[in-house]
Amino acid sequence: ASRVLVASRNFANDATFEIKKCDLHRLEEGPPATTVLTREDGLRYYRMMQTVRRMELKADQLYKQKIIRGFCHLCDGQEACCVGLEAGINPTDHLITAYRAHGFTFTRGLSVRQILAELTGRKGGCARGKGGSMHMYAKNFYGGNGIVGAQVPLGAGIALACKYNGKDEVCLTLYGDGAANQGQIFEAYNMAALWKLPCIFICENNRYGMGTSVERAAASTDYYKRGDFIPGLRVDGMDILCVREATRFAAAYCRSGKGPILMELQTYRYHGHSMSDPGVSYRTREEIQEVRSKSDPIMLLKDRMVNSNLTSVEELKEIDVEVRKEIEDAAQFATADPEPPLEELGYHIYSSDPPFEVRGANQWIKFKSVS
Q: Which domain holds residue 262?
A: 14-275+283-340
Distances (CA, A) of 154 to 108, 170, 184, 199: 18, 13, 10, 11
Domain assignment present for 365: yes
The answer on 357 and 321 residing in a single domain is: no
Residue that wins the pLDDT comparison between 53 and 358 = 53
**Buried-exposed string 180-199: b where 16+ CB fall within 10 A, e elsewhere:** bbbebbeebbebbbeeebbb
At residue 355, the pLDDT reads: 57
Please give the average per-residue pLDDT across 12-22, as a whole number.
98
Same-domain check for residues 220 and 299: yes
Residue 9: the pLDDT is 81
Q: Report whether pLDDT(351) > 60.
A: yes
pLDDT in tens, 58-83: 999 999 999 999 999 999 999 999 99
- pLDDT in the model for residue 342: 77
240 and 363 assigned to the same domain? no
Three-class SS state of 230: coil
351 and 244 fall within a common domain: no
Do 269 and 155 lie in one domain? The reply is yes
Both 361 and 319 in one domain: the answer is no
Check if the beta carbon of residue 58 is closer than 8 Å to that of residue 44: no
pTM beyond 0.85: yes
* CA 56-59-65 angle, 5° bins: 150
Q: Is residue 106 part of a domain?
A: yes
Sign of CA dihedral 320, 323, 329, 332: negative
Reported in sequence order, the residue ranges of the chain that DSSP labels E, i.e. its strands, are 14-18, 23-25, 34-38, 94-96, 171-176, 199-205, 208-209, 212-213, 232-236, 261-266
CA distances from 42 to 15, 82, 310 (A): 10, 15, 8
pLDDT at 371 over 50: no
pLDDT tens for 104-137 read 999 999 999 999 999 999 999 999 999 999 999 9
| CB-based contact 206:217 (threshold 8 Å) | no
Mean pLDDT on 32-37: 98
The CA–CA distances, whole Å, from 181 to 79, 175, 273 equal 24, 11, 18
Residue 152: predicted pLDDT: 98
262 shares its domain with 347 = no
Q: How far is CA 270 from CA 126, 206, 207, 287, in A?
A: 26, 10, 11, 10
The predicted structure's pLDDT at residue 68 = 97
Would 74 be classed as within a structural domain? yes
- Do 356 and 219 have their domain in common? no
Condensed to tens digits (0 to 9), the pLDDT of residues 265-306 reads: 999 999 999 999 999 999 999 999 999 999 999 999 999 999
Q: What is the DSSP letter of 260?
A: -
Give me the torsion for CA of 215, 220, 225, 228, rounded to 10°: -150
Q: Which of 42, 44, 141, 57 is nearest to 92 (CA)?
A: 141
pLDDT digits 0-9 by tens, 322-350: 999 999 999 999 999 999 987 777 777 66
Q: What angle do CA 310, 314, 320 make, to 5 degrees?
A: 100
SS3 label, residue 99 = coil
pLDDT at position 362: 66
4 assigned to some structural domain: no
258 and 360: one domain?
no
CB 85 within 8 A of CB 202: yes
Distance CA 189, CA 170 (A): 15
Residue 254's SS3 state is helix
User: Is residue 53 over pLDDT 90?
Assistant: yes
Does residue 64 fall inside a structural domain?
A: yes
Point out the least confidently predicted range of 5-14, 55-64, 135-144: 5-14
Is residue 38 included in any domain, yes or no? yes
Residues 335 and 350 both lie in one domain: no
Instruction: Please indicate whether residue 355 or residue 267 has the higher confidence score (pLDDT).
Output: 267
Q: Give the CATH number of the domain where residue 269 resides.
A: 3.40.50.970
Average pLDDT of the residues of the chain: 93
Residues counted in the chain:
371
5 assigned to some structural domain: no
Domain count of the fold of the chain: 2
Give the percent of the chain with pLDDT over 70.
91
Average pLDDT over residues 225-240: 98
How far is Cα 171 from Cα 154, in angstroms, rounded to an integer? Answer: 10
Which residue from 254, 140, 252 is spatially nearest to 200, judged by alpha carbons? 254
With contact defined as beta carbons under 8 Å apart, do 159 and 195 qualify? no
219, part of any domain: yes
Mean pLDDT of 153-165: 98
Q: Do residues 234 and 103 both lie within one domain?
A: yes
Query: Residue 289: what pLDDT?
Result: 97
Give yes or no: residues 170 and 119 share one domain.
yes
